[in-house]
Structure 1
Amino acid sequence: MNADARSNADAFRFGVGRMVTDAGKPAEVQAVPACLGRPIRVARVITRLNVGGPAQQAILLTAGLDRTRFRTTLITGVVGRDEGDLAPAARTRGVEPVVIPELGRAIHPLHDLLALGKLVRLFRRLQPDVVHTHTAKAGTLGRLAARLTAVPATIHTFHGHVLEGYFSPAMSQVFLRIERVLARRTDRIIVLSPRLREAMLAMGIGRPEQVEVIPLGLDLDRFLRAAQGQDDLRAALCIPPDASLLGIVGRLAPIKDHPTLFQALAHLDAGDQVPHVVVIGDGERREELRRLAQSLDLAPRIHFLGWRNDLEAILSELDVVICCSRNEGTPVALIEAMAAGVPALSTDVGGVSDLIVHGETGWLVPPGDPLALARAIEVLLADPALRHRLAAAARPVALGRHDGKALIHRMEALYVTVMARKGGRA
């Protein structure tokens, strides 16, 4: 049995299974280093396949890399109870993830040690040339396991970061020190936007020549095909056809700061002109947010939809999509809204301003400011021509900068370059 066949069999023994790729061929192909003499083996590690940009990108890359030049294994933990699960979407694309149940988002010393041990054993069997990690926990454990097993190359993608707004200042400092140490042993650090690159370097994570900007890539075709002018959602929720309808998409978690949106709605003039809002997503704050809506007398106008598989249809009925997070990398919800031709209103945090130019491709407000958000909502809803202009300018930005095929080609070139610099060592 050759090495690739043996790694396939071992992966099935270790978890759920090994991926099957289904890739198109890029127009310009960079050859695998001749000294390697076989496809590059990539082990891709992500904490969990919950609904969001990191999981979408991990699935897209695993399924999309040219199978004649790359063999990719996707390794993941399990999603939380109230999180949407993209594992079925991965399997639809021919990707069968290897699941390590102990690999989870929460800090759990015993589970983390078990996950590290399983990653070490898995890497010894798969013998990857590159370990590419996504998200914080997978980035820590995956890179440690790669170091312990002498994997030739390691790459980590910061889809955002958890160093602001997620933990206490003391814990944030601990995680910052860990990231600085890990960066010294990482061949390439990928960030999704120039501002995120500036933030990483300012915090002492990585060196300028080591940190590379590769924008998030997504499959956006379905947002181009969505039927316009349908009112199925409004009818189902008993929303009048002439009422304004806002939407917010994401986990119901503190960092997303839904209360600022609810409080902004409470600041709007009372009466029939107050818009309705659909809240798409789920999470630990669901019941707390329901109570807040009731306490603000907004319950009839705030509709909690949970996770949905028909986002393109929902977006086609919205007047504005809102992101009011306190920290973000490059929000997928905004990219998808822009691709669907829906104007975007967001807090100016993280890499959002690399995506949205205020007054040109969207509207930006300070984080945690309900009054500023309320004023922005009023401005946008009062001016249909402005909304149309913003949406028209934003759509080509989303489609051009965040195309999934472009991401695949960039990542293929990066893997080849990193392995060439290693001399094709396996």
Structure 2
Amino acid sequence: MSDPARPIKIVRIIARLNVGGPAMHVTLLTRYLGPPEFESHLVAGRVPDNEGDMAYYAERHGVEPAYLETMSREISPRSDLRTLVELYRLLRRIRPDIVHTHTAKAGLVGRVAAWMARVPVIVHTFHGHVLRGYFSPRKEQLFRKLERGVARVSSVLLAVSEQVRQDLIELAVAPPDKIRVMELGLELQRFADAPRAGMLRAELGLGHEVPLFGFCGRLTAIKNPDLLLRAFALARAECPALHLAILGDGEERGPMEQQVAELGLGGYVHFLGFRSDLPPLVADLDALVLTSDNEGTPVAVIEAAAAGVPAICTAVGGVPDIVADGETGWLAPAGDAQAVAAACTAAARAPDERRRRGQAAQAAVLARFSEHRLARDMAALYHELLDR
């Protein structure tokens, strides 16, 4: 049971603060679950040079992570063991009431360390998962066994969407009553308030009449950038004025730039890299396009919706929980370039329909995914678990 005479100590652990929803999620929780009720600590590994680093986001919110140099995304028995020892020592020093882990590597090592340190409450959030479709069958089986093992020492498992929860149940990670849905909370008001002032179009030299679609996020294989570009090329054959802005970076950028040249899309696809000034840029888009093979809860889609920008997405993972086809955006089957292109063409040709779906999308996400709702829900959960 929690002691009202002192704050509840929480140690939150994440593998790295790279660009994406998990980094924002842990930063906001650390910021909003603070004194006098809570004492929050954030522990993270370093972001590699080839990924976008969101340390600036933590700094902007007054959050100072403790960095573990040994913790990384890649599997390395030696460094993982060192990370386990360092985390154990850290937890024994802080003596938290709750350890809350995020992302796969931190979830595994962090929960083992918390169990060794006899932390009373251990929570893990699945922002998605890598238990199907990422690795070879042999590796997947190994990772599933590891997840089932650490699930046994977890007080509760959180999934960011009902689809992720159903996946975890289907994969027998834990009993259904141990897995709950806790949706993301994001700073959406700054997207809702962002003016459509033509900032991105001015940067690209495009007029307001030019249809401009965008992608926002990490350029990784799971996002299927090949499908994005093939679908865009097909859509441009129907709508030659269409442009695509790529707001993000990653290991797939080089292959994408080569594919743009091969498809004759030079001058119509614009690579802008990672940007910290996203709200006015996203607000300048006519639609967001996401062609992933898998998703947990797509942050870029939620942020675009908050700005009144509808999305064209493949119907994978938690995407259908966010995008209602025909109401707040367009959905297409996974891997279907023709279907994605048809949705892009339809959206490009119907500005009034884009606006209608964008307004509906905005109304749907603002309260549901606010950072204040997340903080309230998580605080209530922590108290519930401590009072058991």
Partner of 1:398: 365
Q: Among the aligned pairs, what percent are the same residue?
A: 43
Deviation, 1:66, is 4.1
Deviation, 1:231, is 2.4
* 1:318 lines up with 2:285 in the alignment: yes
Which structure 2 residues correspond to residues 66-81 of structure 1 after superposition, within 5 A?
66-81=34-49
Partner of 1:307: 274
2:18–2:52 contact (8 Å) kept in structure 1: yes
* 1:170 lines up with 2:138 in the alignment: yes
2:88–2:117 contact (8 Å) kept in structure 1: yes
Pick the aligned partner of 1:185 from 139, 153, 171: 153
Range with greater deviation from structure 2 (402-411 or 76-85): 76-85
Q: Runs of 5+ in structure 1 lacking a partner?
A: 1-31, 422-426
Aligned-partner residue type, residue 197 of structure 1 = R
Partner of 2:58: 90
Deviation, 1:274, is 4.4
Which structure 2 residues correspond to residues 10-409 of structure 1 after superposition, within 5 A?
33-34=2-3, 37-228=5-196, 230-270=197-237, 273-409=240-376
CA distance in 2, matches of 1:180, 1:274: 51
Deviations 1:71-105 (A, max 9, x none): 11100001121222111221221111000011111
Deviation, 1:169, is 2.1
Aligned-partner residue type, residue 247 of structure 1 = G
Aligned-partner residue type, residue 286 of structure 1 = R
Range with greater deviation from structure 2 (202-211 or 154-163): 202-211
Aligned-partner residue type, residue 318 of structure 1 = L
Partner of 1:27: none
CA distance in 1, matches of 2:237, 2:7: 63
Q: Give the 3-state SS of the residue equivalent to 2:366 in structure 1.
A: helix
Q: Give the 3-state SS of the residue equivalent to 2:176 in structure 1.
A: coil
Deviation, 1:269, is 5.0
Aligned-partner residue type, residue 303 of structure 1 = H
Q: Give the 3-state SS of the residue equivalent to 1:300 in structure 2.
A: coil
CA distance in 1, matches of 2:194, 2:187: 14
Count of residues paired in the alignment = 388
TM-score w.r.t. the length of structure 2 is 0.97
CA distance in 1, matches of 2:146, 2:328: 37
Q: Give the 3-state SS of the residue equivalent to 1:71 in structure 2.
A: strand
Q: Give the 3-state SS of the residue equivalent to 1:144 in structure 2.
A: helix
1:131–1:153 contact (8 Å) kept in structure 2: yes
1:59–1:90 contact (8 Å) kept in structure 2: yes
1:224–1:339 contact (8 Å) kept in structure 2: yes
TM-score w.r.t. the length of structure 1 is 0.88
CA distance in 2, matches of 1:59, 1:271: 43
Deviation, 1:195, is 1.6
1:165–1:255 contact (8 Å) kept in structure 2: no
Deviation, 1:238, is 2.6
* Alpha-carbon spacing, 1:190–1:272, altered in 2? closer, same or farther (3 Å): closer
Deviations 1:109-146 (A, max 9, x none): 22211111111111111111111000000000000101
Aligned-partner residue type, residue 20 of structure 2 = G
Aligned-partner residue type, residue 338 of structure 1 = A
Deviations 1:12-64 (A, max 9, x none): xxxxxxxxxxxxxxxxxxxx734x64211111000011111101010000010
Q: Give the 3-state SS of the residue equivalent to 2:267 in structure 1.
A: helix
CA distance in 2, matches of 1:329, 1:271: 32
Q: Give the 3-state SS of the residue equivalent to 2:114 in structure 1.
A: helix
Q: Give the 3-state SS of the residue equivalent to 2:276 in structure 1.
A: coil
Q: Considering only aligned residues, what root-mean-square deviation do their CA atoms show, in Å?
A: 1.4
Q: Give the 3-state SS of the residue equivalent to 1:306 in structure 2.
A: coil
Aligned-partner residue type, residue 352 of structure 1 = V
Partner of 1:18: none
2:236–2:242 contact (8 Å) kept in structure 1: no
